[in-house]
Amino acid sequence: MSASKYMLQFLSNTDQVVCLVTIDYAGRTTNVEDLAGFKVQRGAPANKTTSPISVGSLKRRLLPDESLFLGRHLDHHLDNCHINFQSKVVSRQHARIWMNSDMEFFIQDCGSSTGTFLNGQRMSPGGQESEIQPLKDGDALRLGSSHRGGLTDTDRCVNVQVRLYIQPKLNSFNLEECCICLNSMTPGQALFVSSCGHLFHYKCSRPLLLGVVTFHCPLCRTKVDLDEDFDT
């Protein structure tokens, strides 16, 4: 069965979620202006004889308990969804994904006519809002079912692969002592917080930041792209 293939990666820290959406799509792409709040690097549309292309990355910040809606792109109406797919088998407001204050992810079908499938299981009958289900790393989502065997791009269902990365919270050790110089951290000092949640004196971490584009945390060895840019 033909389907458009997408990948969603949800990255969170203690007070916000960064949703990184990487799209591999054999077909038409949604216009940049129709993706409010996102930044996308466009790729050329593919025809039936070409392989799926990399359209680019969409990035957005979400606070806990905010919802990320998935739905169908509408040419002549205001889109009410955060991520819109050009597929006839996807409802206007198909499903929503969100994270609570405990860093747990959830998904719910919003009463779509063609269904949301979580790991191959339909979440609710057509037209009925589903029960809330936990969303875990590696889960497979499908929005709708391909129509007419997916002969055209807009007749294809949408397959989504979910990747979740929960960044650790700052702990009491992080807040008391710099792991580089082993001296205490006090109010008024300049500090550097890496995306992995570890905290250092800025003066101590500066030699690790100068002249490089990738920061390697000296504690957990997490790699951080210092040039990475996120939309707010």
- The CATH number for 183's domain is 3.30.40.10
Q: Is residue 126 part of a domain?
A: yes
- Looking at residue 11, what is its pLDDT? 54
Q: Is residue 232 part of a domain?
A: no
Q: Is residue 78 part of a domain?
A: yes
- Looking at residue 58, what is its pLDDT? 53
* Judgement on whether residues 148 and 196 belong to the same structural domain of the protein: no
* Judgement on whether residues 54 and 83 belong to the same structural domain of the protein: yes
Domain of 183? 172-225
* Judgement on whether residues 149 and 65 belong to the same structural domain of the protein: yes
- Looking at residue 36, what is its pLDDT? 30
- Looking at residue 165, what is its pLDDT? 62
| CATH code of the domain covering residue 41 | 2.60.200.20
**Overall domain count for the chain:** 2
* Judgement on whether residues 156 and 176 belong to the same structural domain of the protein: no
Is 8 in contact with 163 (CB distance < 8 Å)? yes
Is 59 in contact with 38 (CB distance < 8 Å)? yes
* Judgement on whether residues 160 and 176 belong to the same structural domain of the protein: no
Last residue of a domain, one of 166, 186, 207: 166
Q: Is residue 89 part of a domain?
A: yes
Helix (H, G, I), strand (E, B) or coil at 205: helix
Q: How many separate helices (H) and strands (E) can be counted in the chain?
A: 2, 16
* Judgement on whether residues 133 and 19 belong to the same structural domain of the protein: yes
pLDDT under 50: residue ranges of the chain: 1, 13-16, 21-57, 79, 171-173, 231-232
DSSP codes joined into one string, 115-148: -EEETTEE-S-TTSBPPPEEE-TT-EEEES--SG
* Judgement on whether residues 53 and 125 belong to the same structural domain of the protein: yes
Q: Which amino acid is at 182?
A: L
Last residue of a domain, one of 118, 139, 166: 166
Q: Is residue 129 part of a domain?
A: yes
Q: Is the dihedral of CA 1, 94, 112, 165 positive or negative?
A: positive
- Looking at residue 25, what is its pLDDT? 36
